[in-house]
Amino acid sequence: MKRWNLLALAAIGISFAACNNSANTENNGSSDTVMMDDTMDMTDTTTIGQKIDNGIDTVKEAGQRAKEDINAAAKDAKADAKTTGQNIKEDVKSAKEDVSDAAKSAGKDIKNAANKVADKTKEGYKDVKESLKKDTSKK
């Protein structure tokens, strides 16, 4: 998309240059030679084609610089994405370990609670058993 915009800009610039230069030519001069007024140096016989070639070269150089800037930005973005991905990977690993530790701890707590319930149930059973023994022996 940027290349098309750059190409369109170059085409517009070339067409403006062609229109402006053709208005500055005299009727007796050739149409591809830029005619100068009296205040300018008369030794400049740069043709429109040469100016267009210079403009194209300038646009190519600007395009090359833009390409280099884009490549550098893409390289930086790739490095940033890689670093971000690595950070996310480490965070997920850490969260996994935290969840694993929490699950182990919860499992131990549940086991301890179950053991306490079992112990209390045994105590209650013993109390009921002794109470029944006492009641049956009193009769």
The per-residue pLDDT for range 78-95, each reduced to its tens digit, is 888 889 989 898 999 889
How many CB atoms lie under 10 A from the CB of residue 128? 10
Cβ contact 65:6 at 8 Å: no
Cβ contact 17:55 at 8 Å: yes
pTM recorded for the entire structure: 0.36
CA dist 25 and 42 (Å) reads 13
Q: What residues form DSSP beta bridges with 47?
A: 33
In terms of pLDDT, which residue wins out, 9 or 27? 9
Cβ contact 17:52 at 8 Å: yes
Provide the pLDDT confidence category of residue 73 given band limits of 50, 70 and 90.
very high
Q: Is the predicted pLDDT of residue 32 greater than 60, yes or no?
A: no
Tell me what the pLDDT averaged over the chain comes to. Answer: 80
